[in-house]
Amino acid sequence: MRSCFRLVSLFLLIILLVNCDDKIAKAHKVNIQVQYNNNITGSGLEMLNVNAVGVDNKINKTNSTDESGTTTFKLPSGLYNFSVSFVKNGYNYNGYIENQVVKEDGDSFTIDLTESLQQGLVFKEIYYSGSRTPEGKTYTSDQFLEIYNNTDEVIYLDGLTIGSLQQAASNENDWINSANKILNRIALQWHVMYILGSGYDVSLQPFTSVVIAVDGINHKSDPNGNPNSPVDLGNANWEAYCGDFNGGKDLDAVGVPNLELLFSTRHSANDWTISPNGNNSIIMFKLPQISDYPTWGENPNNRSTEPGSSSSTEFLMIPKEYVIDAVELVRPDDGKQHKSLHNDIDAGKVWCTSSFSGKSIRRKVKEIVDGNVIYQDTNNSSNDFLSDQDPTPGIHPTSVD
């Protein structure tokens, strides 16, 4: 009887091992080719880090390419996003493909690299999640953006404009052409606001930043604020004041200059806010001529209704070459992180894990030289930003991330 039991146990163990081996055998060899602009003969394709992230599993792997720009992963069947980002000779190189189906050995995918010149101005921090009041109500008036001069030269901010994309991350992108490529004009909604100046009035010194607040008050102590808020924005450089065009319902903080309105899809809104669930990406840009600002937003050639929609609402259309920096903000939910920006603007995506958490996203510190912070900027938010950070408006880290 005991011998029989042993034989049965051994048989079950063999079955278990065979099943385990079978599961391991289901990992397929997947070939990734990285190339410059449809050309794999360019130099510098070796030792590039290619990242593979499972859409429907928890797999996250990174492999290096050989001298021909190829690498091989072993991955089980499923959907995957593949990306590569690096900096070379003052340019950012990024490639990103998403929702690629892996189902058998020999599956091959190609990542085309896009090239973009590194810009001096970057988003250092975006606090969009908002907070909750002691009564449990939602509060977004404490949101802010922080913009940093990541160079050793003075940069002028006259005409610098902030906008939020119309395309929601929770939906497939509607702003595409007949080849299923994202349009070269970016649709903006809500309030699009800019810094007033004639060209050389507003300077930003090297390795310094400015803070743009929704409301420029100390949200922790002001009677109009929220004692649970994590930020004091009483020293903000600008605020997005909406009172002049919504019947004076917005708070106008004393001593904090107001941004100018370029365009709006909702003049009745009580405040300028960023989606607290991270559903809309943020860009900063400049128009070619400062004198164009008063009339550019009114020009019908710079507006468009949403493709495939019967709505008459028009959105402001910004040529992507005007963009200085952008952050692909998405929802934390799986399946609700659709791409809305070109890879040469932002090849990645970033999010806070929950709304109204009092947390921000903050750009990583690449190095500190002579006491000056240099933030990482590869035009890939997945690599460049840290999520769920304690907001630090106007304060810069003292160590490398």
Phi then psi for residue 102, to 5 deg, are -105, 125
Buried b (16+ CB within 10 A) or exposed e, 124-152: bbbbbbbbbeeeeeebbbbbbbbbbbbbe
Contact 146, 209 (CB under 8 A): yes
From-to residues of CATH 2.60.40.1120 in the chain = 2-117
Q: pLDDT tens digits, the chain, 401 residues: what are they?
A: 555 545 545 555 555 554 544 444 478 999 999 998 766 555 678 899 999 999 888 899 999 999 889 999 999 999 999 999 887 766 778 888 988 999 999 999 999 988 776 669 999 999 999 999 999 999 999 999 999 999 999 999 999 999 999 999 999 999 999 888 899 999 999 999 999 999 999 999 999 999 999 999 999 999 999 999 999 999 999 999 987 665 667 789 989 999 999 999 876 667 888 999 999 999 999 998 888 888 999 999 999 999 999 999 999 999 999 999 999 999 999 888 999 999 989 999 999 999 999 999 999 999 999 999 999 999 999 999 999 999 999 999 999 99
How far apart are the two ends of the chain, measured CA to CA in Å? 64
The three-point CA angle 381-387-393 to 5° equals 95
In the numeric block, which tokens belong to residue 116? 């973009």
Give the residue from 296, 303, 345, 354 showing the smallest Cα distance to 324: 345
Type and span of the H or E element at 149? strand 144-149
Buried b (16+ CB within 10 A) or exposed e, 5-22: eeeeeeeeeeeeeeeeee
Question: What confidence score (pLDDT) does residue 44 get?
Answer: 77
CATH number for the region 2-117 comes to 2.60.40.1120
Question: What confidence score (pLDDT) does residue 323 get?
Answer: 95
Question: What confidence score (pLDDT) does residue 58 get?
Answer: 83
Question: What confidence score (pLDDT) does residue 247 get?
Answer: 61
The three-point CA angle 249-251-255 to 5° equals 145
| Residue found under tokens 């930020």 | 231
Strand partners, 327: 282
Question: What confidence score (pLDDT) does residue 40 get?
Answer: 59
**Distances in Å between the alpha carbon of 296 and those of 242, 261, 291?**
20, 11, 9
For the CA atoms of 163, 169, 174, 180, the dihedral, rounded to the nearest 10 degrees, stands at 110
CA dist., res. 273 & res. 213, Å (int): 10
Type and span of the H or E element at 23? helix 2-25
**Report field, pTM of the whole predicted structure over 0.95:** no
